[in-house]
Amino acid sequence: MSERFVYRIHHQTTYQYSLPVRLSHQVLHLTPRELPWQQCLSHTVNVLPAPQLVRSYEDNFGNVIKAFSLDTDHTSLDVQADSWVALTPRPQPQPGMQWEEAATVMAYHGGRIMAPGMLEASNFLFESSHVRIKREFIRYAAECFSPGLSVVEGVRALMMRIHEEFAFDPAATTVSTPVTEVFVNRRGVCQDFAHLMLSCLRSIGLAARYVSGYLLTEPPPGQARLIGADASHAWVSVYCPGADGSEGTWIDADPTNGIFPDTSHITLGWGRDFLDISPLRGVLIGGGQQTMQVAVTVLPGEEARGLQLSI
């Protein structure tokens, strides 16, 4: 039996408004996905002020969404998601199809009937709001995807190049910084590095999606784990078609840390880029100036039991 890792994730988002908000519609992507290596044991969301109804449904990518509306005046909004998940080790990526063949297989061919998995993967071949297809990304990726290399080895080389050449700098970018600017300045955060890697992969014809989730981080030796000091994380997943048109496999890669995700990466969901899977999005009437504070805590199960995590 595979070893099982249990985690508790507490994700709190608090908004403060300078003027009353009259109407607020919000959409949450905070429910961990069910995957072959990941089981969501429990998931609760608490909202203050409390909405009359919280609806749950799936988006076009199979992510679970929770949505609610507030139609009473309020000057603050507090959303707390508490989840327990269990992970087992993933199969390690194996060398398979050459990347040029994978790009050819994924290219459009009129009249061809695609296998369901390949058809789904084709959604992630094109530009999106934060991902660009450009010649400079083709040139950058070409130094990693040499002729005849497998998809897995090319992904590994590109992941490691971004990890080594780009500096993690939270002050360098915002959620709206273009990926072309990140590429020039060589600085950013996990969201930026995921968008950059997606731009490179899609520019050479490979299908790749943006993955949102969490990463278990360890405190320095001898120091206690800080509550609320973690953050959401982002990485990429690349599609490798199966031989003779059969169903393929998805290969996750984390360019921020230069690793293939395993039992420390907890998956919330995926989309074309950050906008498809941002943890909290909404529209409102009123509010004036607003400030947002986010606190995330990821704890191994044995540390989390009985612990009050509300900030």
- Give me the DSSP letters along 255-285: TTTTB---TTEEEEEEESSHHHH-SEEEEEE
Residue ranges making up the domain that contains 40: 5-88+277-304
Q: Say yes or no: 241 and 201 in one domain.
A: yes
Residues 236 and 110 in one domain: yes
Residue 311 located in a structural domain: no
Beta carbons within 8 Å of 38's beta carbon, 6+ residues apart: 32, 85, 86, 87, 266, 267
Same domain, 192 and 254: yes
pLDDT of amino acid 228: 47
What's the number of domains the chain is made of?
A: 2
Q: What is the pLDDT of residue 306?
A: 60
Q: Are residues 235 and 124 in the same domain?
A: yes
Other C-beta atoms lying within 10 Å of the C-beta of residue 5:
19
* 90: exposed, middle or buried (Cβ count in 10 Å: 0-12, 13-18, 19+): middle
b (16+ CB within 10 A) / e for 261-281: bbbbbbbbbbbbbbebbbbbe
Q: Are residues 29 and 133 in the same domain?
A: no
Nearest Cα neighbor of 215 from 278, 270, 266, 269 is 266
CA-to-CA distance for 35 and 211, rounded, in angstroms? 13
3 state SS of 72: coil
The verdict on residue 32 lying in a domain is: yes
User: Among the residues of the chain, which ranges form H helices?
Assistant: 99-106, 116-121, 135-142, 151-165, 179-185, 190-203, 274-277, 301-304
Residue 191: per-residue pLDDT: 95
Q: Is the peptide bond before 49 cis (omega within 30 degrees of 0)?
A: yes
Indicate whether 80 belongs to any domain: yes
DSSP character at residue 171: T
Which tokens sit at 102?
Answer: 């994978």
Note whether 88 and 3 are within 8 A (CB).
yes
> Do 132 and 155 belong to one domain?
yes
- Same domain? For 11 and 148 the reply is no
What are the Cα distances from residue 238, in Å, to 52, 71, 101, 249, 270?
Answer: 40, 42, 14, 8, 12
Does residue 110 lie in a domain region? yes
CATH number at residue 110: 3.10.620.30
Establish if 168 belongs to a structural domain. Answer: yes
Give the CATH number of the domain where residue 14 resides: 2.60.40.2250
Contact between 30 and 107 under an 8 Å Cβ cutoff? The reply is no
Q: What is the pLDDT along the chain (311 residues), one digit of tens a residue?
A: 578 999 999 999 999 999 999 999 999 999 999 999 999 999 999 999 999 888 999 999 999 999 999 999 999 999 999 999 999 999 888 777 899 999 998 887 777 777 788 889 999 999 999 999 999 999 999 999 999 999 999 999 999 999 999 999 999 998 889 999 999 999 999 999 999 999 999 999 999 999 999 998 876 676 665 554 578 899 999 999 887 666 789 999 999 999 999 999 999 999 999 999 999 999 999 988 999 999 999 998 777 666 555 54
